Chain A
């Protein structure tokens, strides 16, 4: 990607500034504004016609899809929850929507195979709450994967999935565990200082988190080294990405490709599997980590959903000999 000029206000540049900790309401407002601008443009198209014919291209980086005219994939999840009825099934069909939950973290765990994370996922635990309680805030440093929720010592003002500390823990997991090069990555995380932990404490907690995941650290080192020398990365299904630029940039892009490209592979595989089994089904929308599919009324909702669910959530072995499944949130929509 071409580097923007010093005074660029493009989305990538502003996002980088925000993520580096720049604290400016204008910056944040502009970023929000740009995001909503894309949604506004799509809505203008939707409000002008009783039917839209989006252009779909499964040719973006690492196998991702793009949808334009209008860009229905660009709507935020919260927006869809409130305004899902702006598009609707035709008479004689029903829609099935799935949205993979935390698929990138699961994919990373499937590749790396550290026992704690594998078990957390297999038992359906909220990994971010666990990370927050055991490592980042260390309210319960001796937590095990089987510990019940009341042993997490969560504070009384805990807001579950909306809690700011849980969000920080989620970023901590991605920024330090998944993509970070060392415990020091925690110090560069935006807003981490709001947790009230000092520099030494943060470093110590990040190191504890990494120490508990030796396989992940070894795997990352191996992938980074491969990407630096081989100048290419591949997903477990074999999708390659040629890597350019400086060695560290290649390492970063290569690791991203392993994870994001694998998610894209799964999406493609699922859509192809569904179209083979239900030739009269059709894709409505490919969203970031999910899709909406249309089925004719002749396909019974219960059995079809169960079968599609079995395809979408099936187990895959992507490395380390661990079979991991990828659960999704499901919804059926009737016209």
Chain B
């Protein structure tokens, strides 16, 4: 175990002054991977060889079990080996010699990251891309505490937390290197350890490392094309379509956007949207078509049924749900865009889109956002990485059959069900509500009788305290143990 150098004095993570793991910067390397913090192996100076075998090794990042998985399973997907990558940690010691860092929202973590990186972070000039592995590294390299899942699979401008001044975020779909003086890109990926906890993260993680090769080759992300604002008289025979509507009045259209395979993008404000012509047999690609179809039909003076009889639709959300069904709702996803795996357009963009992230621009650059929504949908369907969803469906005829026959035909059913709504009996609902509240009150009384104090069942803290501190509950596994 290495002693911490004098520069560590004053850091909230200083502890007993032991256990420092310096960065492993390689002169000439173009990629600099920053992970969260060292593990026990890195701290102790031993490299994991597999099968519970270790060998002595200098204290450097990513030589433990996680590092071995990364080096063998993920790094080669980018066409790289370890000698070509500088590695470091955003905090270069183990907090109190444990693997647990305090939560990201605590000031003490922020202070430790700032201190550690001012003192020790010296990336070589050859760096072209930083890779932020996990949310602590993401915060340290971008100054963003939130929305790690939203940025995973995209590049964010390098705006380190420890910098004296942080440049403002671009108000456009950012393509690194497009504007002279642009900061370096920070490519955001899952921490490998997360895949151990959440196996569904394996898919995006593998695709992210695969995409790093394209980033280094300058093939991804592509610049966002210029936006055309004039409405169309005759609509293209294949296009991705998206709408922005008022949050207060979902029926009131604000603007719509269109993108074609040849990457032409229109964003038309509702006030300019006139009546157009759509060609029979046209293919329209949407993400969650039931939300867009009611607006689309208005441009041609048709009912939804008439429009559906005239055109062919594709739905990227429905297609993705068929191809990648699984556990998509994670705790991380609640209130945010995208968990380890989800069917949101932000997630699909992170996998398929040829442009960088746009979903954070809804308020600050709404026209860019709208145009990118349509282009991202077209990429997700056909023109993006991996051949898009249509390419994946073509490679799996059985799934394609399910999409065509069991999933896509649900679009008009779902739309009709939503549009018509359900009549309620408010008095009956109020009576039922009273019943439910009474039941909940009785649950609480039951818990209070059991504990002997006025436990609040709504309070996660109180319930956790009772279960884990007072009762010390643990899962029981075998007959006779209970």
Give the distance to chain B from A148, nearest Cβ to Cβ, in Å. Answer: 34
Give the distance to chain A from B422, nearest Cβ to Cβ, in Å. Answer: 5
A248→B32 CA distance, assembly (Å)? 36
Give the distance to chain B from A213, nearest Cβ to Cβ, in Å. Answer: 22
Scan residues 236-287 of chain A and give those whose CB is less than 8 A from a CB of chain B.
237-242, 244-246, 249, 253, 257, 261, 265, 268-269, 271-272, 275, 279, 282-285
Q: Is the CB of B197 within 8 A of A2?
A: yes
User: Does A143 have its Cβ within 8 Å of any Cβ on chain B?
Assistant: no
User: Does A157 have its Cβ within 8 Å of any Cβ on chain B?
Assistant: no
The 9 closest A-B pairs by CB, nearest first: A245-B199, A187-B479, A238-B398, A59-B321, A244-B199, A25-B450, A46-B429, A47-B429, A29-B447
Q: For the A-B complex with A24-B473, A87-B423, A199-B479 known, give 11 more contacts whose Cβ atoms are closer than 8 Å.
A: A9-B460, A29-B450, A33-B457, A46-B429, A53-B419, A72-B422, A82-B432, A192-B479, A240-B323, A241-B326, A249-B199
A91→B401 CA distance, assembly (Å)? 38
Contacts of A186 in B (CB 8 A): 479
Q: Mark B401-430, 1 if CB is under 8 A from A, else 0.
A: 110011101101110111111111110111
Give the distance to chain A from B449, nearest Cβ to Cβ, in Å. Answer: 8
User: Does B71 have its Cβ within 8 Å of any Cβ on chain A?
Assistant: no
Q: Mark B428-452, 1 if CB is under 8 A from A, else 0.
A: 1111110111011001101101110
A159→B202 CA distance, assembly (Å)? 49
A6→B473 CA distance, assembly (Å)? 10
A46→B479 CA distance, assembly (Å)? 45
User: Does B475 have its Cβ within 8 Å of any Cβ on chain A?
Assistant: yes
User: Does A30 have its Cβ within 8 Å of any Cβ on chain B?
Assistant: yes
Q: Mark B199-226, 1 if CB is under 8 A from A, else 0.
A: 1101100000000000000000000000
User: Does A156 have its Cβ within 8 Å of any Cβ on chain B?
Assistant: no
- Chain B residue, CB-CB nearest to A59: B321
User: Does B198 have its Cβ within 8 Å of any Cβ on chain A?
Assistant: yes
Stretch at the interface among A37-45, A121-129, A130-138: A37-45
Candidates A79, A83, A88, A253; contact of B423 at CB < 8 Å: A88
Number of A-B contacts (CB under 8 A): 256
User: Does A306 have its Cβ within 8 Å of any Cβ on chain B?
Assistant: no
On chain A, the number of residues with a Cβ less than 8 Å from chain B's Cβ atoms is 90
User: Does B466 have its Cβ within 8 Å of any Cβ on chain A?
Assistant: yes
Contacts of B416 in A (CB 8 A): 282-283
20 sampled A-B residue pairs with Cβ under 8 A: A17-B467, A26-B467, A29-B443, A29-B447, A33-B458, A47-B429, A53-B418, A82-B432, A83-B428, A188-B479, A199-B480, A238-B398, A238-B399, A239-B325, A244-B202, A269-B406, A271-B410, A272-B409, A275-B412, A275-B413
A88→B422 CA distance, assembly (Å)? 7
Scan residues 322-366 of chain B and give those whose CB is less than 8 A from a CB of chain A.
322-332, 339-340, 343
Scan residues 4-21 of chain A and give those whose CB is less than 8 A from a CB of chain B.
4, 6-10, 16-17, 20-21
User: Does A27 have its Cβ within 8 Å of any Cβ on chain B?
Assistant: yes
On chain B, the number of residues with a Cβ less than 8 Å from chain A's Cβ atoms is 90
Contacts of A7 in B (CB 8 A): 464, 468
Contacts of B396 in A (CB 8 A): 240
Q: Is the CB of B409 within 8 A of A86?
A: no
Q: Is the CB of B433 within 8 A of A24?
A: no
Give the distance to chain B from A251, nearest Cβ to Cβ, in Å. Answer: 13
Indicate whether A86 sits within 8 Å of B202 (C-beta atoms), given known contacts A24-B467, A37-B440, A202-B479. no
User: Does B1 have its Cβ within 8 Å of any Cβ on chain A?
Assistant: no
Q: Mark B274-304, 1 if CB is under 8 A from A, else 0.
A: 0000000000000010100000000000000
A49→B426 CA distance, assembly (Å)? 7
Stretch at the interface among A60-68, A108-116, A165-173, A320-328: A60-68
Q: Is the CB of A268 within 8 A of B198?
A: no
User: Does B51 have its Cβ within 8 Å of any Cβ on chain A?
Assistant: no
Q: Is the CB of B478 within 8 A of A283?
A: no
A114→B467 CA distance, assembly (Å)? 43
Chain A interface residues toward B at CB < 8 A: 1-4, 6-10, 16-17, 20-27, 29-30, 32-33, 36-37, 39-40, 43-44, 46-63, 72, 79, 82-83, 85-90, 186-188, 192-193, 199, 202, 234, 237-242, 244-246, 249, 253, 257, 261, 265, 268-269, 271-272, 275, 279, 282-285, 294
Q: Is the CB of A59 within 8 A of B482?
A: no
Give the distance to chain A from B406, nearest Cβ to Cβ, in Å. Answer: 4
Q: Is the CB of B406 within 8 A of A90?
A: no
Give the distance to chain B from A186, nearest Cβ to Cβ, in Å. Answer: 8
- Chain B residue, CB-CB nearest to A235: B402
Q: Is the CB of B425 within 8 A of A86?
A: yes
A23→B463 CA distance, assembly (Å)? 15
A283→B412 CA distance, assembly (Å)? 10
Q: Is the CB of A44 within 8 A of B343?
A: no
Contacts of B443 in A (CB 8 A): 29-30, 32-33, 36
Q: Is the CB of B464 within 8 A of A29?
A: no
Contacts of A46 in B (CB 8 A): 424, 426, 429, 432
